[in-house]
Structure 1
């Protein structure tokens, strides 16, 4: 709709301007108010036509694409085998990248019918009302069949819920290859579901509630990104029962949306033909749900027995002799090694280590120490095929990613692609806080003021540039002063960050000040005055409406009165009003730039508040230094040191005084700039990798992450992620360094 409106608007403007341009071209005249801009008529028409053509082609392409996708038949002969091939590849990659691929254990389950509510209104009951019990020692596919293809899998953290679901998916996929009437099994991670939708789309089923519409939309989008099944095809298959849904991780849904899963699955089974459905969840989190799921049956995964653990170590031989020595030496380890995850962690932590070394005292006797040993071991092992990272960078990056994935809303296991400010609150990063508050902010101020002063000095003389610096120093010095003081900045890339921030601020200040001055100087005086007057009137009008208290409104009115009277006197008494107006615009731009830097959300990475009340920042010195550098450069370039026009200085003062009142309107681009700056600081200090894909592959090669899709990764398990998020990264990095050193020592 927006594109159609844009086409109509551009064509309407063209129809207005085209007769005027033709009339002028054939010797006629244009209306008086357009006479100064006659030379721009044909270029404007060309731009409008170009916008109309591009927008029209975009709209035509969107409509054709929508028709093609919607009309595409889901029954094309190659759709099903292609989908099954992608499903097989995805399952193979998930299994190969998981810890379960290293430990082949037969997980035992026991039936737990009280955990679910059987949907008797949706099922044809067995003959004579008999309910078949789950067969003993049956594999997960047989258990699923015994439970009428409707099952809940419960287990403790690390018990193997995802492993069993993957086994079920591969078994169902094998059956789907052999029998064309069997549904395609699709494994989906529930952690990506974010609850009901706010607005409907055209392709949503009108009969679906907002809750179900949001769930189906998420499901179809996930099918497209994970298995490359187009959403229209996926919707048709979902309606006609061609899909088996295997939903993993109820406990990984955000708590606010977790309680909505029962009603959404119930409505899904009523509105769509879902012939096969399996769901997994942790036992504790499932017991907290207000309503049990409506499924035919449920099973619980039994803990590993001592016999299973010992048999596994015995089958591995000398490779796991150290692990067997550790578990035989410390009885407390038996209480931990009750799940496949912890068995895998222990196997990887002690793989290849001598039993004598373990007996001498290198034993992990608590879960935290065991995870430390596991991470130290897998990060210390060289992998010639992948890029290497130093221990501190690797652990800091993993810690930062683990912290964010645990605290951000929505998908809490997948490694994020982009930074969001709310994900960093509470991170104890004094090193990054030092760079943000003691280097970035003052360097940005110095560059911004220096660049703007240089532009003004080059155009109107050094005194005008000094006026820019003086007014900027006043704005920086007065409240609010949101920055904090940090003492310890040793070992940080201060010089690199300072140079980068000064250069960024200088380019922005110089460019905006120069552009503002040149544009307003080129405009007719009445037009420049009208633009500035409209801007000031709008901003002060909003301030007067939103301000609380008569005192604030009175001060705003007095300030506006002073600005109006002062500007009128300057425009009346002096000979160069265009200079005054251009410099007033520059003053407004500089004031807004300083306000933008002051308003940057700088507290994302600050944890410790400085407890030294007498500590002073050096912000003013940075600003003075930036101004001094600008003056020296301007003098070197031949700027007039004493011949500045009075109108220029007065314009700078008027612009800054006018803009000071703009406090309620949030600064534009403050969030994205802060996010970009914090991302750079995290990378400069080693808390995030510069090359995201290379680092994720590095971590996946070491069984810390697992690949879940194309360029998509998640932590190997929630317990590994939580341990990384709660550890002290530099302490763990020191353990990795010690393990690397011990591996290099000759034995």
Structure 2
């Protein structure tokens, strides 16, 4: 420990320079006294590297931080973290020491010693001067014991509860991190197991280096492309360690680049999990499909959304991890990004690499120019298997693949097909134990590939597990799914994420009407039943012909508001959205004006019906900024629920709508209580019911990270709708009963129960619709429309599991994906043409 003490003494003796002084050019070393005490050993270690290797040369010839990073093959963001006093692996340290001309063997023991110091928490604070006002160690210990007392525990619990109320999203707790890592390991291991189910080829990689070509200008160099080194067996983890956490993987289609990325994600997640259990924090890898990226969003926003949709990581947690530089995106399929969005995607990837310390991207070899512009520190190509690899694969199951091997021996042009792990697996599953006539047809590569896929699909459908679905039905639904996913630029299908955007655009208006009329229909029905009960009891005198005219007016305004709000804010065009919305509302009002003069507004039942509708109509505008269509899988109460608000909509969303809702509630409650329960308690009852509604508005729904089965989100939404609706109805009923039984014991019971019979069901229905009921109901409406159009079966979950048993789909988490993007492209064709080609009887439309 002697050299560490000398290092601390040397740092303590240094004086700070003034702002006007001159400094030596080069890298500024970290100051161990200014970093977090936990990371102080790393700062001291980096300071030793700086002083003993970097600062010994001529100051005029010292490399800048970015130049040193390029020489050591370390990203710019990682270099910044190193010289800020943060931790780094031995592979990174070895590259840095070698770039500075040092002996890596000499520094390996020092690096190991630094890791041990951090692990044991051996941070020497003896030489620090106590802060002003700080007491002795005995006093500090006494304060700590007091804080650990029963009163201290209560205060800590209260502060944690208050922080939870004001927190907008889920944080990055150790439990959350370990849960995310376990899910990453499980999902990646599933992908790897599928790829290695029969026999897996040994991967070989070629390191790609820039091939510089001198241009006309002497001082500039023009890069003509990549120069490939001879391929040799390596692991993707070794390549990542040598890449400085900036890796680009390219490969031909079907060679298994997605499998290699899954292997890397599994290894990194296992390492991060072990580090987390030992008390250290490493970056959390997350494997994402780039196909859904669009140029209208920043890469960080897309990563947070994609991590939630594809891998079940809470979006708020992903954003927090990105802000802490604790998330490692492993992005598969740069070539699958729509062509119009690729340039912006490359720009965003380059910017992300400069800001964060880790990024892995894959791309097809055909788009290697696109991949080269990403600027990864290390680029590698997954090489095709050799002929010896293919021969060994065929010999591993020689008895079943006799005809396949014979066809390959007779026709050497088949080698182009066999040098693909994907096609090898398809050929093995298709022709194991049978003849292979499609391999003996003379045709080009594309035609042969289609013939093999045809034989594979036909065998899986006709010789697979028994099912209630006919082969032509299964093929029709699979082709519809492939066309829809390809049109949306997606590869993973989540049954509980099917929304209105899965319907044709001409059906969106009908959906908007159903959406807007869902809650008003139930509320109007309940109110009419309540008016009939009140009229039979002689409490209210209602003219139901007049009430019918009010229902007609309400239906007209419901349709106008639904279409107006749906079209107005769907595209986030504020000025046009407001004009569209108010135009439809004004048109509906003019139409209602033709009916309104005939209504007798003095009728008490008519007034109650109008006030109920007014409350529901104003409350439905809240759904413009707080979506009720997303499945509700977990809830929490918070002082600041998340809302989707544009800057120009803030006044409308946070001021006008809440005041309008409170005003409509106050008028309705005050009028009904004044009719049913004369006395001075109507004001207190109104105030309490408004407070209950306001507290319920601060419930924030969200999705859960783990779903044990498909469509679990819809089931949980229905469950939460029932629970929250029942809880609100019971709370309102108890509030009214207790208030009047305690403060006004002489209140007539029939009138009291009549007030409960109106407000408790209204509260229950509105809360059930808002928190899960709307999402569950509209999900099944959309599913029913899809069934009527012939795209899906009614029992879709059962069909998806049947397709998985036939190895035509793979499950990933609670979603489903085709075995490969090439297979998805193959099925992206009209069902009638494909069933005719396969010789299956088709009744598809």
User: Could you tell me the TM-score, scaled by structure 1's length?
Assistant: 0.49
Question: Bigger relative contact order, structure 1 or 2, given CA contacts below 8 A and separation 6+?
Answer: 1
User: Could you tell me the TM-score, scaled by structure 2's length?
Assistant: 0.44
